[in-house]
Structure 1
Amino acid sequence: MGIVIRQSAKTLIVTYLGFLIGYVNTLIFYPLALSVEQIGLQRILLDVTGFFATFAALGATHIPVRYFPYFKDPKKEHNGFLFFLFCLSFVGYIVFVALFFIFKDTLIGIYSRNAAQLTEYFYYLIPFTFIQLCLFILEVYMLVQLKPVVPRFIREIVIRGLLTLGVLGILYHMITFHVFINFIFVVYVIALLLLVIYVYSRGVLFLRPNFSVFKNPMLKSMLVFGGFVLLGNTSDIIIRNIDSLMLGSYSGLKSTGIYTIALYIALVLEIPRRSMSQVVIPLVAEATKNGDMKKIAEIYKKSSINQMIIGGLVFLVIWCNIDNIFKFIPNGSVFIAGKYVVFYLGIGKLFDMAMGINAEIMTTSKYYKYDIFFYAFLSLLAIGTNMLLIPIWGILGAAMASAISIIIYNLVRFAFIWRIYRMQPFSKQTVKVLLISLVVLIFNYMFPHVSGHFVWDVAIRGFFIAVLFSLLVLLSRASEDINAVLSRTIRRFLEKVQ
């Protein structure tokens, strides 16, 4: 697991820097420059195009994870693998455009009542989806070659940094919201161009027509895998985004705007999970190819405890400062309606992290087809719980539905992996982390509020929570990897002090 920790470090740093920029954008500049409805609108545009691009990819964003090791050969331009991915996804894009116009009136009707502004930008979805699709393909192509840092830098920092300029343009009355929406599209075009340049600079932009993959005996299994992944991805996106999409339809753009702010606060929990996944998945794919189940089991257990520790710390710092966090946000008195949205979303994401790399194990195994049935059931569950809970509790209902779906979806995968491989990610170290988290939470409620400006309370409370949690993790030896990192950090600090 040491290699995963080391390779995850750069990606984690880049992702957190990107999140910091996104934090300033979403929690400060957006509430200052945009109305709640406008925040909801730009959120829905990005969610919808991401969903459409995943559909149009026809599984091409996951095929490399499982099959790239079989075609990897730089001297032979990876046997035309990138060319194949783009051919497959372009076919999917043509199908998407056809379906888009067939169901145009239905799509407009869904949002015309409570989110009429979205219909003004309806046709933006076609080119925007194409840009997102190309980004997805190139990102996964570099990921399977263990070069995720620069693509992540472009997505997390370049895109968000440029969006900062756009929202500042609105704030200082230099551009209108309509121009800002156009600017978002331009930003993603720039990101795609930068990614193309990077892939070319690494000498792996192999787009010359090469039909080796099309002639390979594995083509049929790849297409079948892509079809199953398409169904799975569609269901996964439904599970993860149906809350904000259905809020726009049921409750309007204002509710979506409030939910967006709360969601962004909770999303910080996903960063360690996403960063580790990008490094782990090629390793799991290679181990699967070699039949090394012992290696997979080791990564499974260590990913669970490491993510649980990092996620637990982040969740505690956020939740123990939640009221103060909303004080940072302009118009915080409006957005604090999403306080418990953060809690329920956070619990769902924390549970997902604690379950380790179950998704990666399923995706790279020969049992990947079963995942589709799990996804189908859970997407129906997500839709059903949102339809039931949003009319009753609004944004809180959407958050509860999301948490319920994520928890059940992980439990189903957990049970399946245990039954097939007799592998599970938990140990007595898991209990230690749960007890440590409980102790720190109790400490927070005993800790007095710092008088004066709330910033002091955030800084002092956050500091003591982080120190107490880290010390307890270190003393309990809950994780060998994190113990090594903490011990090395403390030793270097003491050396500098001396």
Structure 2
Amino acid sequence: MGIVIRQSIKTAVVTFAGVFLGLIINLLSIRVFEKTDLGFTQNLIKASMLLCYFAILGFNSTLVIYGQKYHREHPKRASFLTISIIVPLLSLTVITLLYFIFKDKVIHMYHSGDELLMARYYILFPLLTLLVSIILWMEGYLQSIYKTAIQSFAREILNRLIYLALIFLYAYHLINFDTFIWWYVLLYLVPIVYLAYFIYRFDGFKFGYTKGDFTNREILRIISFAFNQTFVVISAVLIIQIDTILIGPLAYNGLEAIAIYGTAAFAISVIKNPIRALSLSALPSLSDAYQKAQLKKLRANFIKSASVMQLLVLFLSVGILLCANEIQYLINLLKPGYESVSHIMLILLIGHVIDVLGGLSLEVLTLSKYYLYNTLFSFSSLIVIVILIYNWIDVYGLQGVAWASSIGMVMYAVLKSVFLYRKLGIQPYTVNTLKIAGISIVALAACYFLNLFSNPICNMFLKGGIYSILFLGLSMRLKISEEFNELVKKYLPFIK
């Protein structure tokens, strides 16, 4: 697991670079785009990303898990890969048809002013769904052969560099919004080519079905597993994205509200993306331990990864809490109309931090025979979120939506953790958890009142810098994670 953790944290380094690019993108987007255009762009991305999970039917996760069984030297690998790509292609065809069958109904869900944008660029929704589905399949394949850093670079760096370049072109009036949004979607071909190049470099990527490799029953078992993964993944994704998706049709200001809420929700990606990098890297190892019935190894790997996740999530979330006022000041400088961002951001953090503190509970449940329970937990929490949003959005506005999302996330996290402990005897909380919580409190208390400059932005850099050194230094001193310590010493030698 040490190798996996080191790879995970290295992948997280790439992800942090992506988060930094994402921060620049978000700030520039607030500055250069009208709220309606920004809201439409975020709506396009969220909706297409969600539907691509329906299109791929869980075969990206199936590649990771079954890929350990049908490894690169396995005689049935070509047949397995063929099955894993044909079914999603058929599903993608159906999804595309449904896009056009329900086109009018989807467009009329939005307010009159927003309908024009939805109608004008509706074709981009199925197109982006297609391109992202291809990328998801490729990512699943690379994860199955332990090449997570490659797919992380494509997702976190390459995509964002392209996005950033287009924003600069738009900001300097070299392209209009029409050109921007079309090129944003079409340039997803670049990461596809990038991923394809690396996939072809490694042995074991081959297609071709040999009759007799799989019985009909075995094929149905693979497809059934993939379908179950679909429900697991979609329910988990919906919990994170349903708030933003419902805002467009339900909020009185539609796409503009999405722009405000999406800016606040970026804080979630700051903590979720590095955690996602860790889970992607750890999943093959967890899968291997479970399939070999090595429960002791599974528990050890789970606890090690949980310590790193808890360290990362508290470091990032407490840092955001520390600088929340300064972040809001910076956003207000860029453009008026985003004054509620910091409040929404902090509300959203509550639920997602509690969820991440539970470790890779979703991943372990997905691997186990109890995977359908995760679907039950997530859909139950999802129903709670939807009901609360419908009842609170008109009364409490976007903060009501944020509270609904956070309450649902806490419910989901508690259900997963309690069930996992009762059935497998696995739980993520150790003495290290208390140490990390103590470090967070000490670092926050030491830096919270460090307002030495009249300029809030200068204070943000001062507090953020001292906080980072203090938090990381204490984490190393208390030896929360040996692998984490090794990487800090290697890349940040000034922190002792």
Aligned partners of 1:159 and 1:30: how far apart in 2? 15
Aligned partner of 2:145 in structure 1 is 145
Q: How far off is 1:115 after superposition?
A: 2.8
Aligned length: 492
Aligned to 2:14: 14
Structure 2, unmatched stretches of 5+, are: none
Normalised TM-score (structure 1) = 0.92
Q: Kindly state the Cα deviation for residue 271 of structure 1 after the two structures are TM-superposed.
A: 2.6
In structure 2, what is the equivalent of residue 290 of structure 1?
292
Residues 488, 495 of structure 2: 8 Å contact kept? no
- Secondary structure of 1:174's match? coil
Query: Which whole-Å CA distance do the structure 2 matches of 1:9 and 1:340 have between them?
Result: 30
Distance (Å, rounded) in 2 between the aligned partners of 1:380 and 1:53? 22
For the 8 Å contact 1:114–1:249, the answer to whether it is kept is no
Check whether the contact 2:70–2:76 (CA below 8 A) recurs between aligned residues. Answer: no
Structure 2 counterpart SS, 1:122? coil
Superposed displacement of residue 17, structure 1? 1.4
Q: Which residue in the other structure is 1:280 paired with?
A: 282
Structure 1 residue 370: Cα displacement: 2.1
Range that drifts further, 304-313 or 197-206? 197-206
Match of 1:433 among 432, 436, 455: 436
Return the alpha-carbon distance in structure 1 between the equivalents of residues 94 and 273 of structure 2: 33
Question: SS where residue 336 of structure 1 aligns?
Answer: coil
For 1:161, give the aligned amino acid.
L
Report the residue type matching 2:294 in the other structure.
Answer: D
Aligned to 1:336: 339
Residues 213 and 268 from structure 1, CA distance in 2 versus in 1: closer, same or farther, beyond 3 angstroms?
A: farther
1:357 Cα offset (Å): 0.8
The structure 1 residue matched to 2:383, chosen from 380, 383, 408, is 380
More displaced 10-residue stretch of structure 1: 326-335 or 272-281? 326-335
Alpha-carbon displacement from aligned partner over 1:354-391 (angstroms, at most 9, x marks no partner): 10010110111122122222222122122122222222
**Where does the alignment leave 5 or more consecutive residues of structure 1 unmatched?**
none
Q: Which moved more, 1:131-140 or 1:392-401?
A: 392-401
Map residues 60-99 of structure 1 onto 2, 5 A cutoff: 60-74=59-73, 76=75, 78-99=77-98
Query: Residues of 2 paired with 1:371 and 1:7: CA distance?
Result: 27
Kept after mapping to 2: 8 A contact 1:66/1:363: no
The alignment status of 1:171 with 2:171, answered yes or no, reads: yes
Aligned amino acid, residue 4 of structure 1: V
Residue matched to 1:184: 184
Which range moved further: 456-465 or 176-185?
456-465
Find the residue that maps to 1:424 and give its secondary structure. coil
Query: Cα distance, 1:471 vs. partner?
Result: 3.5
Q: CA deviation at 1:467?
A: 2.5
- 1:326–1:332 contact (8 Å) kept in structure 2: no
Instruction: Please tell me whether residue 371 in structure 1 is matched to residue 388 in structure 2.
Output: no
Q: Which moved more, 1:474-483 or 1:183-192?
A: 474-483
Q: TM-score, normalised by structure 2?
A: 0.93
Q: CA deviation at 1:119?
A: 2.7
Give the Å deviation of 1:206: 1.8
Distance in structure 2 (CA, Å) of the matches to 1:479 and 1:388: 44
Aligned-partner residue type, residue 262 of structure 1: A
Match of 1:416 in 2: 419
Give the equivalent residue in structure 2 for 1:54: 53
Using the TM superposition, give the Cα deviation of residue 181 of structure 1 relative to its aligned residue in structure 2, in angstroms: 0.8
**Segment drifting more, 478-487 vs 128-137:** 478-487
Alignment RMSD (CA, Å): 2.3
Q: What secondary structure, in the 3-state scheme, does the structure 1 residue paired with 2:429 have? A: coil
Structure 1 residue 43 displacement after superposition: 0.5
Q: Is 2:32–2:171's contact at 8 Å kept on the other side of the alignment? A: yes
Q: One-letter code of the match for 1:467?
A: I
Match of 2:447 in 1: 444
Please give the residue correspondences for 1:302-381 in structure 2 after superposition, counting only pairs within 5 Å.
Answer: 302-329=304-331, 331-381=334-384
Secondary structure of 1:110's partner? coil
Cα drift, residue 217 of structure 1: 5.0
The answer to whether the 8 A contact 1:41-1:253 is kept is: yes
Distance 2:212 2:350 in 1: 46
Contact in 1 for aligned 2:9/2:484 (Cα 8 Å):
no
The CA deviation at 1:477 is: 4.0
